[in-house]
Amino acid sequence: MVSHTDPDYSAAYVIIETDAEDGLKGYGITFTLGKGTEVVVCAVNALAHHVLNKDLRDIVGDFRGFYRQLTSDGQLRWIGPEKGVVHLATAAVLNAVWDLWAKQEGKPLWKLLVDMDPRTLVSCIDFRYLTDVLTEEDACEILQKGQVGKKEREEHMLTRGYPAYTTSCAWLGYSDDTLKQLCKEALRDGWTRFKVKVGADVQDDMRRCRLIRDMIGPEKTLMMDANQRWDVPEAVEWMSKLAEFKPLWIEEPTSPDDILGHAAISKCHNRVIFKQLLQANALQFLQIDSCRLGSVNENLSVLLMAKKFEIPVCPHAGGVGLCELVQHLIIFDYICVSASLENRMCEYVDHLHEHFKYPVRIRQASYMPPMDAGYSTEMKEESVKKHQYPDGEVWKKLLAAQKN
């Protein structure tokens, strides 16, 4: 059974320095759960030669080529390709490049993307392996259509923000009292969309879902997340018992690589989610991730495919910095690609934002567009210093306590 029972929220943190007079730096992260972060760091170092001594203008002038360079390293592809540790490292490096580019342009990342003409945006995307579903011409056509009403949608984001849902109330392991208290506080703060973790014990899941549904009422939206715990038949059986609580979706019901499994679950139950299974009609919602996919470049291609198939995108967030990053992508998606908020929302988890220089701003259960230049990836120096492994103050205390 797969579950994240003892996560130690961590990140590989990349800083790109330049010799430019403006003194700007690019910051990139990829989220991890503790052990294994050192492996991601090794992969980042293995990719570093592709960035060192390069001119930022040359990189962004041929961003598709640079992306291909990182993902097609002749030797590192053997331990990928475009998945696993190497791809997490690729995301960290590219996130830093995008942060630097946005800072140099003096714009938040979402605005950098919104202001780009369609051809320039499309030139950032590697269409290899996609052209049977999405061609360069398809992408340009989608973005061209997205120009209509763009200014009005940007104004809507600036005044109203992008709708969010909360995962903070219903983690596995929370007592009933804690769960009730957190739901009560969330309702008071204006939240109308809630996600609950399931999959440990079906009777306990039913009890907890009933408790939450009673707390939030029938009109609020409820989602479920199984974190890849089930086989396909098990998922179908389990969700048939949870269907009475009217979930909008079930997230990660089985192995993330089992496309036909997701399709089978989907045909048995509406609102079954997972990522890039569009051709198999295996999902009703699609979740992007700012650090698991290959940064902005790859996320752009997924947003465009989702638009072509008219599948709503509801990003995954939480973790270390995921909320900070993915808000830029989904705000861009609304303004330039999807042009719709129907059945769309972005995950929000209320923790670890205090470590970021430009933390997310939530107002009335919505993400308000960041206004600072960059990709919101930069962490506070003091936080980095304290938590850096293994020499940071926090780690020194932990390791000393373990020895004793």
Segment 268-277, tens digit of pLDDT: 332 223 334 6
8 A C-beta contact, residue 253 and residue 262: yes
pLDDT of residue 139: 97
DSSP tag of 318: -
**Position 359 pLDDT exceeds 90:** yes
* Local structure of 309: helix, strand or coil: helix
Mean pLDDT over 175-180 rounds to 91
Residues 121-142 have pLDDT tens digits of 999 999 998 898 899 999 999 9
Mean pLDDT over 195-208 rounds to 90
**Position 158 pLDDT exceeds 50:** yes
Residues 180-201 have pLDDT tens digits of 999 999 999 999 999 998 988 8
8 A C-beta contact, residue 108 and residue 369: yes
pLDDT of residue 279: 64
Query: Which amino acid would we find at residue 39?
Result: V
pLDDT of residue 274: 32
> How far is residue 366's CA from residue 159's CA, in Å, rounded to a whole number?
10
**Position 11 pLDDT exceeds 80:** yes
Both tokens of 277, joined, read 């299974």
Mean pLDDT over 332-343 rounds to 97
* Local structure of 339: helix, strand or coil: coil
> How far is residue 25's CA from residue 4's CA, in Å, rounded to a whole number?
34
Looking at the chain, the number of H-run helices and the number of E-run strands are: 16, 9
Strands (E), 237-295: 247-251
**Position 59 pLDDT exceeds 80:** yes
DSSP tag of 313: B
Domain ranges of the chain: 151-381
Both tokens of 19, joined, read 């010799």
pLDDT of residue 3: 46
User: Cα separations (Å) of 337 from 79, 85, 246, 287, 330?
Assistant: 33, 30, 29, 15, 10
Both tokens of 86, joined, read 């190497």
8 A C-beta contact, residue 268 and residue 236: yes
* Local structure of 195: helix, strand or coil: strand
Q: Exposed, middle or buried, 39 (CB in 10 Å: 0-12/13-18/19+)? A: middle
Class of domain 151-381: alpha beta
Both tokens of 236, joined, read 């179908």
Query: Which amino acid would we find at residue 186?
Result: A
In our burial notation (b when 16+ CB lie closer than 10 A, e otherwise), range 47-72 reads beeebeeeebeebbeebbebbeebbe
Mean pLDDT over 284-301 rounds to 91
Q: Where does the pLDDT of residue 287 fall: very low under 50, low under 70, confident under 90, or very high at 90 and above? A: confident
Neighbours of 404 (CB within 10 A): 4
Q: Looking at the annotation, which residues are catalytic?
A: 197, 316
Q: Which helix (H) or strand (E) holds 238?
A: helix 232-242
Residues 341-352 have pLDDT tens digits of 999 999 999 989
Query: Which amino acid would we find at residue 69?
Result: Q
Mean pLDDT over 195-215 rounds to 92
Please list, in sequence order, all residues whose beta carbon lies within 8 angstroms of the beta carbon of residue 264, skipping any fewer than 6 positions away: 232, 236
Residue in this structure with the two tokens 């790859």, named with its chain if needed: 298
Please list, in sequence order, all residues whose beta carbon lies within 8 angstroms of the beta carbon of residue 96, skipping any fewer than 6 positions away: 14, 15, 16, 26, 27, 28, 377
Positive or negative torsion for Cα 235, 236, 240, 243:
positive
> How far is residue 46's CA from residue 75's CA, in Å, rounded to a whole number?
10
In our burial notation (b when 16+ CB lie closer than 10 A, e otherwise), range 212-251 reads bbebbeeebbbbbbbbbbbebebbbebbeebeebebbbbb
> How far is residue 360's CA from residue 319's CA, in Å, rounded to a whole number?
13
Alpha carbons within 13 angstroms on the beta-carbon side of residue 190 total 8
In our burial notation (b when 16+ CB lie closer than 10 A, e otherwise), range 272-294 reads bbbbbbbeeebbbbbbbbbbbbb
